[in-house]
Amino acid sequence: MTVLEFPNRSTIYYLLFTNHYSLLTIMKLSVVCRLLSAVFFPCLLSFSGCGGGQAVPPGFPAKLTSVTITLQNSGQPVHEAAVSLIAEPPEPYLVSAITNTAGTAKPQTIINAFSREGVPPGTYKVLIKNQMKSTVPELRPEDATDSAKEAEYQAKVEKERAEQQKQSGISPDWSDIKKTPFKLTIPNEAKSITIEFSDTKTFEQ
């Protein structure tokens, strides 16, 4: 039998930052995988045999720091933004979160289906991407094969996405690990971080 696992880090980056799925959808997938594994494979854990709960997977950091990240654009909170922290040098875990209506997020560290709130101490590049939900009505099934209606739908989605991008103040470069201007050093003690989009050139944490 195969135990269902959370998508690996490379897959998550591909899905999230190529507009295939939102981080919320990916996190929901993790929950579904856990539930299915608990129901159908109660004695088959991804990393160990039978037990009272899921074992901490190999490679999961022993130390996690409580971190709160706040995103602001000219002092206004930026909500529904995906925040991912990429360790330098790269590590086998994913650190991510989505900002709430107050523009804040508390990242979780994830390996496969195992996650805990907090961030391992270290240095990270920060990727930020708009995850606002589309308000464009979905195509009806009978219109899905109509190329003209499909093109019209895609045009509306792209227009809305551009407007959301402008509203949020999030640059497309910030979801590119080679172009993002944000870099963080997470200490051993709890830390609150505010990223102000209008001040990216002097950002230092």
- CA dist 35 and 15 (Å) reads 22
**What are the two backbone dihedrals, phi and then psi, of residue 202, each rounded to the nearest 5 degrees?**
-105, 10
pTM of the model: 0.66
The string of pLDDT tens digits covering residues 71-126 is 999 899 999 999 999 999 999 999 999 999 999 999 999 998 899 999 999 999 99
Please give the order of strands across the beta sheet that includes 183-186: 114-117, 108-111, 94-98, 81-87, 122-130, 183-186
Cα separation of 143 and 154, whole Å?
13
Residues 172/130, Cβ–Cβ less than 8 Å: no
Is the domain covering 57-132+168-202 a CATH 2.60.40.10 domain? yes
Residue 89 identity: P
- pLDDT for the residue 135: 85
The Cα 84–Cα 186 span in angstroms is: 14
Half-sphere exposure of 45 (CA within 13 A, CB side): 13
Nearest to 98 by CA among 117, 111, 79: 79
Residues of the chain with pLDDT under 70: 1-53, 200-205
For residue 129, give the 3-state DSSP assignment: strand
Residue 27: predicted pLDDT: 53
pLDDT of residue 25: 55
How many Å apart are CA 140 and CA 126, to the nearest integer?
Answer: 38
> Residue 126: what pLDDT?
95
Cis peptide before 92 (omega within 30 of 0): no
What pLDDT sits at residue 54?
A: 73
